[in-house]
Chain A
Amino acid sequence: MKSLEELKRIKEQTLKDMDLRRAKDRGKVVVAMGTCGIAAGAKDALMAVIEEMEKADIHDVQVVQSGCMGLCDREPTVEVSMKGQPSVVYGDVNEANARRIVREHIQGGQVVAELVIKRGNI
């Protein structure tokens, strides 16, 4: 280690690995992983969300799983709650839709209207 630049590089790289432990207060994405959700493919949706977030370099939005949200016939369901905005529940979220949601809503700030099945808090 010969310079502060090298130090900074290690810091940035490791911060990525420690990303999950940092405070995330810009918003939260909840993927319903009840039995119905898992059967409908929620796992793929979850991993797609995480992958897209990483690609888009987003570090201040939490991605968590929850149990069944109750909208079993529209699974997989994903709730997006960004700070300062009413939360939105998307339904029938397959892998492609999951990526769209990250790019258009979380990154771009635009709700993907045609995929929404519920607005406001559940």
Chain B
Amino acid sequence: MIRNQLLVCAGGACITSGEKSVKDVLVEELAKNGIQDEVQIIETGCMGACDLGPIVVVYPEGTFYQKVNMQNAGLIVSEHLVKGRTVPELLYHGPTSEKKAQTSEEIPFYTRQVKRVLRNCGVIDPLSIEEYIARDGYFALGKALEMTPDEIIKTVQDSGLRGRGGAGFPTGIKWKATKDATGSPKYIVCNGDEGDPGAFMDRSVLEGDPHSVIEAMVIAGFAIGAATGYMYVRAEYPLAIERFEYAIGKAREYGFLGKNILNSGFDFDIEIRIGAGAFVCGEETALLRSIEGKRGMPSVKPPFPAQAGLWGKPTLINNVETYANIAPILINGADWFRSVGTAKSPGTKVFALVGKVQNTGLVEVPMGTTLRELVFDIGGGIRNGKKFKGAQTGGPSGGIITADYLDMPIDFDSVKEIGTIMGSGGLVVLDEDNCMVDVAKFYLEFIVDESCGKCTPCREGTRQMYRIMERICDGKGHDGDIEKLKSLGKVIQLTSLCGLGQTAPNPVLSTIRFFEDEYRAHIEDKKCPAHVCKHLLTYSINPDKCVGCTACARQCPVQAITGEVKKTHVIDEDTCIKCGSCYEVCRFSAILKE
């Protein structure tokens, strides 16, 4: 008889932090104590608090153990399960609270979240179709098969669901257009390419709750009249591919995929297609070409995939998170979906909250939540007592939300006014030690690498913008650079063929808008105020702190430091190559980096 269940988070991040060894220790200790038949271990999808991993939750108490490792995992068995005493050192302890949290309900990171898309992640075993069914899985499909396609599409339209991949196009309208299009056969495609650096919302859904996407694709197939679905996953997500493949097998076994689903006469099946490392294949038309076996390059729209997609046939293509919203909408209704969020952006959004916050990880909040709540209430504020400088949203297609806009409610439309997009959900928090020019340069470098090359504005324009950014960060910027970046950026935005090029200038233009003084410091003063850009740093020795230990002089690879033993040393600026070795090796904090 099972008296306890240990839920072990097996999302990608926790696995990397050693979840498997923790699980092995738990299995061993349970056997050692003879209670292996009374305690069940269940590996779940991502629980969201990635910074606190590996995580183990003990039920029925709901005790939330964080930062569990091979050395302390045994205590969960010997102390908690055998002796009934919680393990204090593994409980969550917030930076400002005195009390330790017993369950996740006492942890601020969780209390403000509304888990709809992530309803099953961290709760069920993603490999168990039965557990998915126990949480109302496939009941939406059962209901949908007894409705008409028009009724299904109307429900989706009434819900106001907008595409979660970044563009925010009304999902119901897309479904209707694909249903009404002429052409056969029709196709259903799921965009699991998730190329934005730092974004892992879709990955967590595919790894932690794959059936939620399968169910939605079958419903979509029934609604628009398609019999084949393709799940396009980027190759860099092997765990997601493995779990989704397994889930497809289970769905077929239970008759949710294949012929005559649930006795309705409707046939539908899904195949996986794996990407090959191209960011541009996240763009819907490039993705479709990739499935066709062609080079992933975007094409002009119109025609849209709804009219002419895969092999020229009507194709519905939606993002993973968009699909994950469908089943609950059908079960609970459009009004339920609208009960959270804003009028024009109803529902919730999953964000990958990363960067310089205390609590990094995956969070799901109602649309309209302010940046302040995300960064300070859920995120726990900036690490190491530093100052908030900005939040980068939307990945390489987005810009910065500065401290002045912390109380702006975040949804599809609000952030456009300040030159950024909400995007697919990546939210990188930056502090005073980040150089905004360097951040913009990073995204631009990524874009230059990923540009498919088809259209000139993107292929040549982004490269030229990058050359200017490189010069600026190398201390070779000159008058007119900012104006050139702005005008180049505008042209690229207006004339690029696809969204990649059209949004490529955003990080640069946004940082110029809000941090022009930082650019000017780089260009005119040849200085990096955040002390990041290597070529603009000057290393010098503080005579008040230097004791003449000669450690730096011995370390310097170009012999730029001179001085006698026990006497103040000096760095020759002309010889110095700014490698920073002296800074690393000085034990007296005598090296100044400015």
Contact assessment for A20 and B254 in the assembled complex, using a CB-CB cutoff below 8 Å: no
Residue interface bits B251-295, CB-to-A below 8 A is 1, else 0 = 000111000001100000000000000000000000000000000
Residues of B within 8 A of A24 (CB): 60
Assess the B256–A1 pair: CB atoms within 8 A. Answer: yes
Within 1-53 of A, Cβ neighbours of B (below 8 Å) are at 1-4, 7, 10-11, 13-15, 17-18, 20-21, 24, 31-35, 46-47, 50-51
The 7 A-B residue pairs with the shortest CB-CB distance in the complex, in nearest-first order: A65-B84, A14-B134, A1-B255, A33-B84, A14-B130, A20-B59, A66-B84
B2-10, B11-19, B462-470 - the one binding chain A: B2-10
**Complex contact A18–B131 (CB within 8 A):** yes
B263 touches A66 (CB 8 A): no
A63 sits at the interface (CB 8 A): yes
Cβ–Cβ contact A7 & B138, under 8 A = yes
Query: How close is B74's CB to chain A, nearest CB, in angstroms?
Result: 17
Q: Is B565 an interface residue (CB 8 A)?
A: no
Known: A7-B138, A11-B136. 8 other contacts (CB 8 A): A4-B139, A4-B142, A7-B139, A14-B134, A21-B5, A33-B82, A35-B83, A54-B1
Contact between B262 and A20 (Cβ–Cβ < 8 Å)?
A: no
List, in ascending order, chain A residues with CB within 8 A of B254's CB. Answer: 1
Report yes or no: A21 in contact with B123, Cβ–Cβ below 8 A.
yes
List of B residues within 8 angstroms of A21 by Cβ: 5, 7, 59-60, 123
On whether the beta carbons of B1 and A3 are closer than 8 Å, the reply is: no
CB of B262 within 8 A of CB of A14, answer no
State whether A34 and B130 are in contact (beta carbons under 8 Å apart), knowing that A50-B1, A63-B3, A64-B61 are contacts in the complex: no
Inter-chain contacts of A64 with B (CB < 8 A):
60-61, 84
Contact of B83 with A1 in the complex, beta carbons under 8 Å? no
Is B84 a contact partner of A34 (Cβ separation < 8 A)?
yes
* Chain B window 109-130, contacts with chain A (Cβ cutoff 8 Å), 1 for yes, 0 for no: 0000000000000011000101
Q: Is B133 in contact with A14, judged by CB distance below 8 angstroms? A: yes
With both beta carbons as reference points, the residue of chain B lying nearest to A16 in the complex is identified as B134
Which range holds the interface residue count of chain A? 20 to 34
Looking at the complex, which one of A11, A31, A50 makes contact with B134 (CB distance below 8 Å)? A11
Q: Are B60 and A15 in contact, CB atoms less than 8 angstroms apart?
A: no
- Chain A neighbourhood of B123, CB < 8 A: 21
Cβ of B85 < 8 Å from any Cβ of A?
Answer: yes
Closest to B260 in A: A2
**Cα of A63 to Cα of B263 in the assembled complex, Å:** 42
Contacts of A47 in B (CB 8 A): 1, 3, 38
Instruction: Confirm or deny: A70 has a beta carbon within 8 angstroms of a beta carbon on chain B.
Output: no
Q: Please give, as numbers and ranges, the residues of chain A lying within 8 Å of B138 by CB-CB distance.
A: 7
Contacting residues, chain A, for B83 (C-beta < 8 A): 33-35, 65, 67
Known A1-B262, A18-B131, A24-B60; judge A7-B142 contact (CB<8 A).
yes
Say whether B133 contacts A62, CB under 8 Å: no
Contact B1 A67 (CB under 8 A): no
Pairs A–B under 8 Å by Cβ, sample size 6: A1-B255, A3-B262, A17-B134, A24-B60, A50-B1, A62-B60
Residues of B within 8 A of A17 (CB): 2, 130, 134
A54 to B128, CA, bound (A): 23
Using known A-B contacts A2-B263, A21-B59, A50-B1, determine if residue A10 contacts B133 with beta carbons closer than 8 Å. Answer: yes
B35 and chain A: residue at smallest CB distance: A43
Q: Which residues of B contact A34 (CB under 8 A)?
A: 83-84
Q: Is the CB of A15 within 8 A of B262?
A: no
- Nearest A residue to B85 by beta-carbon distance? A67
* A38 shortest CB reach to chain B, Å: 8
Which of the listed residues B3, B81, B124 has the most CB atoms from chain A within 10 Å of its own CB?
A: B3
Please name all residues of chain A whose beta carbon is closer than 8 Å to the beta carbon of B4 when the two chains form the complex.
Answer: 20
Complex Cα spacing A13 to B1, Å: 15
Closest to A47 in B: B1
Do residues B2 and A20 form an inter-chain contact, with CB atoms below 8 A?
yes
Query: A66 to chain B: which residues have CB within 8 Å?
Result: 84-85
B residues in contact with A54, CB < 8 Å: 1
Q: Closest chain B residue to A10 by CB distance?
A: B133
> In the bound complex, what is the Cα–Cα distance between A7 and B136 (angstroms)?
9
Give the shortest distance, in Å, between A56 (CB) and chain B (any CB).
Answer: 14
Residues of the A chain whose Cβ atoms lie less than 8 Å from the Cβ of B263: 2-3
| Interchain CB contact under 8 A, A51 and B1 | yes
Given A1-B262, A34-B83, A62-B61, check contact A14 B131 (CB 8 Å).
yes
The CA of A24 and the CA of B62, in the complex, are separated in Å by 10
A114 smallest CB distance to B (angstroms): 26
CB closest residue in chain A, given B253: A1
Closest residue on chain A to residue B146 by CB atoms: A4
A46 touches B3 (CB 8 A): yes
Question: Nearest Cβ in chain B — how far from A116, in angstroms?
Answer: 21
Asked, given contacts A2-B262, A18-B131, whether A67 binds B84 with beta carbons under 8 Å apart, the answer is: yes
Complexed CA–CA distance, A17 and B128 (Å): 12
A70–B5 Cα gap in the complex (Å)?
A: 27
Residues of chain A lying within 8 A (CB to CB) of residue B128: 14
Q: Which residues of B contact A31 (CB under 8 A)?
A: 84
Look across to chain A and name the residue whose beta carbon is closest to the beta carbon of B128. Answer: A14
Within 1-46 of B, Cβ neighbours of A (below 8 Å) are at 1-5, 7, 38
CB–CB B1/A15 < 8 A: no
For the complex formed, measure the closest distance between the CB of A40 and the CB atoms of chain B, giving whole angstroms: 14
Residues of chain B contacted by A20 (CB below 8 angstroms): 2-5, 59-60
CA distance A31 to B4 in the complex (A): 14
When C-beta atoms are compared, the residue in chain A nearest to B136 turns out to be: A11
Instruction: Kindly list chain B residues whose C-beta atoms are within 8 Å of the C-beta of A3.
Output: 262-263
1/0 per residue, CB under 8 A from B, across A79-100: the answer is: 0000000000000000000000
Q: By CB atoms of chain A within 10 A, which of B7, B84, B130, B131 has the most? A: B84
Complex: how many Å from CA A15 to CA B135?
8
What residues of chain B lie closer than 8 Å to A2, measured between beta carbons? 255, 262-263
